[in-house]
Amino acid sequence: MFNSDVYVRRRKELCRRMGKGLILLPGNSESPMSYEANAFDFRQDSTFLYYFGLDVPSLAGVIDAESGETTLYGNDTTLDDLIWTGPTPSMQERAATSGVTDTKPLPHLDTRIAEAVKAGRKVHYLPPYRGETSLLLSRLLGTPATALFEGISTDLLFAVAEMREKKEACELEEMDLAFFIGYAMQTVAMKMCRAGMSENELIGTLDGIPKISGGWGVAFPSIITQHGETLHHLQGRDILEDGRLLLVDVGGERASHYCSDHTRTYPVNGRFTQRQKEIYNIVLEAHDRVPQILRPGMLYTELHRSAELVLAEGLRGTGLVKCSAEDAVEAGVISGLFMPHGLSHGMGLDVHDCQALGERSFDFSPFAERAAASGTCIHRKTWRLNEGTVMSDEPGIYFIPALIDKCRAEGRFKGLVDYDLLETYKDFGGIRIEDDIVVTSDGCRIVGGERHIPVTVEELEAVVGQD
Ligand code: GLY
Ligand code: MN
């Protein structure tokens, strides 16, 4: 948690942006795994963390945008809690660390919101992404859970996204430190990797690293697979085989929850075949192109297109693409066949920062115009990469048999792609290379500073399997 001044300043800025109404920011509650007292690891809501910093369940903040008054709702520890989970600071003590003086028991939240609604005050809330929060909002606002999306506050959504998107110096320090969790996860995997070992063995080892280093845990379920062609392959049951490629897409969260996200792909036996090296170096060129051209004010789509052009040009060199790189990108050969995912996503308190606020969480199209003016990562099509934005750089090339078959059968990209040659790549897998980047006042820098995770063919061959 940062100093309380940070949260006081952020809440004040939020009020300035909002001007009117009550801002309701519920934290997350415990999420039971199999029965109430057997919960998943508690993960606080990132927007609540951003404005209050308090990493405990069942709190809610209410900020009066007109007066600036802030109340923190939550219950003090009961004797039962003391017996089962031990002593904790009082609500007053907790609130003080966030610069809040007014605290009330959680049940008082119902009356506060009911009175505000009755008085015709606007209650601003964000789109809920957890069932428990939907139920809470539904009860507080007297709205069926299925109708909550219609009432979300777009003003609040944009204010929060704009603030969270531009990282402050203290946040960038945390991101730089999160890099080292990612560094450890990736280099441990490289050194351990050898034929005969199970993917699960790697997953089990890597998943412990964020905690060992004092962090919270993994930032997302670790993707450690020889099926790199499946973008988020989570099964992790296979035995590593000589000659195959292993894709490792992992990240860790610090105790503060600022996180890392890195991907490396390399041969299980530590030696690239000619074909693996050829495809790898195309992806690496696209990955390296991003920091070379990224400047503040640039549109994400420009960056995306540049990376696609590098991939298309490289694939032309292999004979898989038969037309010019421009024609291939224009026709959707890269986005439709070889890299069916985005080049980047925001990074911060969430591995896909602010994604709960927009884009995939609900139909964002009604807000597209406003999103273009705002330029935050809540809508990647209109995302403007300004100073303080932190993002992933993760191009890839994937040979997805089902997608190849479908495109071929439908006659898509006919004359642009050599499908006969492509057939011979169906057992190749997929390659993704990912690092995290921060946009600076005059360009960008890789999160983590000078140190980098082995990434060239030579660097990887020198470390994979070298315990
Ligand atoms: N690292 C997983 C993702 O970016 O979706
Ligand atoms: Mn990523």
* CB of 362 sitting under 6 A from ligand 1: no
Q: For residue 121, how many C-alpha atoms fall within 13 Å in the half-sphere facing its CB?
A: 19
Pick from 252, 270, 269: nearest CA to 261: 252
CB atoms inside a 10 Å sphere around CB 157: 26
pLDDT in tens, 223-280: 999 999 999 998 878 999 999 999 999 999 999 999 999 999 999 999 999 999 999 9
Work out the pLDDT band at 373, boundaries 50, 70, 90: very high
What b/e string do you get for 318-346 counting C-beta neighbours within 10 Å, with b at 16 or more? bebbbbebeebbebebbbebbbeebbbbb
pLDDT in tens, 268-313: 999 999 999 999 999 999 999 999 999 999 999 999 999 999 999 9
- β-pairing, 223-225 vs 396-398, is unpaired
Q: Assess whether pLDDT exceeds 90 at residue 364.
A: no
pLDDT at 361: 77
Percent of the chain with pLDDT strictly greater than 70: 100
Question: What mean pLDDT do residues 336-351 have?
Answer: 97
For the record, the structure tokens of 284 come out as 């690496």
Q: Would you say residue 363 has pLDDT above 90?
A: no
Are 357 and 127 a contacting pair, CB within 8 Å? yes
Q: Are strands 390-393 and 435-439 parallel, antiparallel or unpaired?
A: antiparallel
Q: Is residue 367's pLDDT more than 90?
A: no
Q: How far is the CA of 261 from the centre of ligand 1 (A)?
A: 7
Percentage of the residues of the chain whose pLDDT score is greater than 90? 94
Check pocket membership of 129 for ligand 1, CB cut-off 6 A.
no
Q: Is the CB of 220 under 6 A from ligand 1?
A: yes
CB 342 near ligand 1, within 6 Å: no
What local confidence, expressed as pLDDT, does residue 151 receive? 94
54-69 residues labelled b (16+ CB within 10 A) or e (exposed)? bbebbbbbbbbbeeee
What is the rounded average pLDDT of the residues 138-161? 95
Q: Ligand 1 mean position to 10 CA, how many Å?
A: 28
**Nearest 5°: phi and psi at 427?**
-105, 15
Structure confidence by residue, pLDDT tens digits, 42-58: 999 999 999 999 999 99
> Is residue 360 over pLDDT 80?
no
The rounded Å distance from CA 37 to ligand 2 centre is 33
CB 249 less than 6 A from any atom of ligand 1: yes
Instruction: Answer whether residue 193 shows pLDDT above 90.
Output: yes
Q: Which ligand is nearest to the CA of 391?
A: 2
- What's the chain's average pLDDT? 96
* CA of 393, nearest ligand number: 2
Pocket test for ligand 1, best of 206, 224, 225, 232 (most atoms within 8 A of CB): 232
Q: pLDDT tens-digit profile of 404-442?
A: 999 999 999 999 999 999 999 999 999 999 999 999 999
The atom of ligand 1 lying closest to the CA of 352 is 4
Among all bound ligands, the one having the nearest atom to the CA of 252 is 1
**390-396 mean pLDDT:** 98
Q: β-pairing, 70-73 with 102-104?
A: parallel
Is a pLDDT exceeding 80 seen at residue 192?
yes
Residue 25 pLDDT class (50, 70, 90 cuts): very high
pLDDT of residue 366: 81
Find out whether the beta carbon of 436 lies less than 6 Å from any atom of ligand 1: no
In this predicted structure, the answer to whether residue 164 has a pLDDT above a threshold of 90 is yes
AA letter at 79: L
Q: What residues contact 19, with CB distance under 8 A and at least 6 apart?
A: 65, 66
